[in-house]
Structure 1
Amino acid sequence: MHKKTIAIVTDKPKSVFNSSYLISYLIPLWQDRGHRVVISTKWPFPDADVALLHVDLTRVPLVYRLISKKYPVVLNGNFPDNSKAIVSQHLLKIEDHYAGPVIVKTNGNFGGMPDIAKSSKGDSRRVLNETSNLETLNWHAIRAISPESYPVFRDKSDVPAGVWRNRHLVVEKFLPEYDGNGLYRMRACFLFGDQEVNMVVTSEKPVIKGSNICSRELLDEPAPEALRVLRKKLKIDFGRLDYAVSEGRVVLYDANKTATLSRQSGLEWADRVIRPLSHGIEKYL
């Protein structure tokens, strides 16, 4: 294969090389194969054979989306918005008739925290502290919630009235999957082009994040066809889909276009995820 130039268009150039972002693991492997990787944060973007849009905000600003005018191939160029309003298939309105548990989430990705941090008036640490106690929240006014603290309610009638009036929040059917020991179970599909790596994690907590995982296991089986249909609909080239299989149905929880891999998993385990994914770029070169 001829050596190519890959452009990473990002809002966080330092984090691209040293962080838990998947991209920080992939870049050294591409460089070892002789490819050149260039990083850019603003127009005019550098010349390259292919570009990867890697902006850690719920909605990618227009200035970054302009890269489609410069490059022949822009990975994730057709997936600029991963808000729950776009991704979720199970949102509820106040007038909907539904009996069963529900979960309140932010419409923004990862609890709305990246968007708050990017705002000129935002202070994500302050917001994190203020939203850690759900009992004292002003549900009508908040813009973010600690993502590990999304509350689950027994019924939609128990949801605070302010939630329904807040455009930054959504109410979703709570459709969990359990393992044989009664732990919550979540599946993740890491994907890049025609490559995918599937895993399953368990937790005692209903909202599973890296800090509360009890176990993790790579799966030999491919992603369900229903998940691939959702991926095609979202037009996501690179990232991670978090989902469950609840009562035989695929339930998509999240679609992350700047996916991360917890360093708590260990480098050997991470390598089993990253090396197959690193070949996904070859489809576009």
Structure 2
Amino acid sequence: MARIAVITHEFDRFERRRGLLLRRESPYMLGNLLEELKRRGHSVQILSGTSAKPEADIAVLHVDATVTPPDYVEYARAFPYCLNIGAADISKRRISGAVIGRNDGWQGPVIVKSSLNNLGTREQSLNRRSRRAGKPEPFPGVRVMAGYTIHNSLADVAEAVFEREDLVVEKFIPEAEPDGFGARFWIFCGERERCTRHVSPQNLVKGSDTIRREPVPVPEELRETRRKLGFDYGKFDFVMHEGKAVLLDANKTPGGARNLSSFLAAGNANLADGFEGLIRQFA
């Protein structure tokens, strides 16, 4: 059985106490996966910050921020093997296949997004908790975006948007359906995976407003993208456009949303098999 260490930011809240019995629960998908691994006999230790020096066979770098601070990456290198150590930067400016510039020839609608995951709210939260603890902000100067905006064309996007490094402009290319719009979500851990296509009445497809979903294959070009980005575990959001897979979002700390709990839980055993495969391969 393996000793697993999970590296979280000093001010992350990987686990929370909930319910009358104050049971520890995690808002992250990894939390449910770890519970399955513990049932199989593996031990798990959640590390907050970079000061602990535990003995572990394998670690997971699970800092919930778009760009993992360098000291956490360096700390992760001290473990025999650490999952996702290569996925330290998942900013949309780096990973999105739909990003375009002011002079791009794209003639269709576009969407303005934060280059940070979750509109920058995670970085804002970590900054706030750091200030309360009397420590410097880990992500100084971060700007939280109120929400995405869709424009009919590039010409409708203000010039100032292109001058901001924290914003990106993407082709707006949801998969059109008679009853709404589609997007695809690929969840993986090692060699185990699930890939589903969700259809929503909203043109910004989210799991919470899905009206139907179906399993779909993972495009080979997306597997190559995963390899290049250094992901062992995580979730990719993508669409098929003109016959090609276009990555829109990569998440190394995917959440376990309550309204998708049964859907996510159904794959825990499969993902745990993938984690154990990584243990056998590296630990």
TM-score by length of 2: 0.85
Residue matched to 1:281: 275
Report the AA paired with residue 64 of structure 2: D
Could you give the per-residue CA deviations for residues 179-213 of structure 1, whole angstroms, max 9, x where no partner exists? Answer: 3x241101111000111111121112222223332
Q: Which residue of 1 aligns with 2:99?
A: 91
The correspondence of residues 111-190 of structure 1 with structure 2, limited to 5 A, is 111-120=119-128, 143-146=143-146, 149-179=147-177, 181-190=178-187
Secondary structure in 1 matching 2:237: strand
Q: What amino acid maps onto 1:36 in structure 2?
A: S
Q: Distance in 1 between matches of 2:267 and 2:54?
A: 29
Alignment map for 1:249-264 (pairs within 5 Å): 249-264=244-259
Q: 2:28 aligns with which of 21, 26, 46?
A: 21
Q: Deviations over 1:34-65 (max 9, x none)?
A: 10001111223421000000011010012211
User: By how many angstroms is 1:266 displaced?
Assistant: 4.2
Distance (Å, rounded) in 1 between the aligned partners of 2:130 and 2:244: 38
Paired residue for 2:211, among 192, 209, 214?
Answer: 214
* Shift in Å, 1:86: 1.2
Q: Residues 242, 45 of structure 1: CA spacing in aligned structure 2 closer, same or farther, 3 A cutoff?
A: farther
How many residues of Structure 1 are paired with residues of Structure 2 in the alignment? 260
- 8 Å CA contact 1:116–1:122 kept in 2: the answer is no
The amino acid of 2:202's aligned partner reads K
Amino acid at match of 2:228: K
2:199 is aligned with 1:202:
yes
Q: 1:14 to 1:121 in 2, by over 3 A?
A: closer
Aligned ranges 1:47-62 → 2 under 5 Å: 47-62=55-70
The amino acid that maps onto 1:233 is K
SS of match in other structure, 1:226:
helix
Deviation at 1:142, TM superposition (A): 8.7
CA apart distance, 1:259 = 1.0
Tell me how far apart the structure 2 counterparts of residues 53 and 122 of structure 1 sit (CA, whole Å).
20
Instruction: Say if 1:39 and 1:122 are closer, same or farther in 2 by CA, change over 3 A.
Output: closer
Q: Secondary structure at the match of 2:211?
A: strand
The Cα offsets for residues 69-123 of structure 1, whole Å up to 9 and x where unpaired, read as 3112110001101001111122122233321111100011111111122124999
- For residues 139-159 of structure 1, the C-alpha deviation after alignment (integer angstroms, 9 at most, x for no partner) is xx992224xx41111100001
Alignment-mate amino acid for residue 143 of structure 2: R
Query: Does the Cα contact within 8 Å between 2:240 and 2:246 map onto a contact in 1?
Result: yes
Gaps of 5+ in 1: 124-140
Q: CA RMSD in A?
A: 2.2
Q: Find the residue that maps to 2:259 and give its secondary structure.
A: helix
Give me the TM-score of the superposition, normalised by structure 1. 0.84
Paired letter, 2:199: T
Structure 1 position 13, deviation (Å): 4.5
The 2-side partners of 1:247 and 1:122 are apart by 45
User: Is it true that 1:74 corresponds to 2:101 in the alignment?
Assistant: no
C-alpha distance 68-19 of structure 1, shift in aligned 2 (>3 A) = closer
Aligned to 2:222: 227
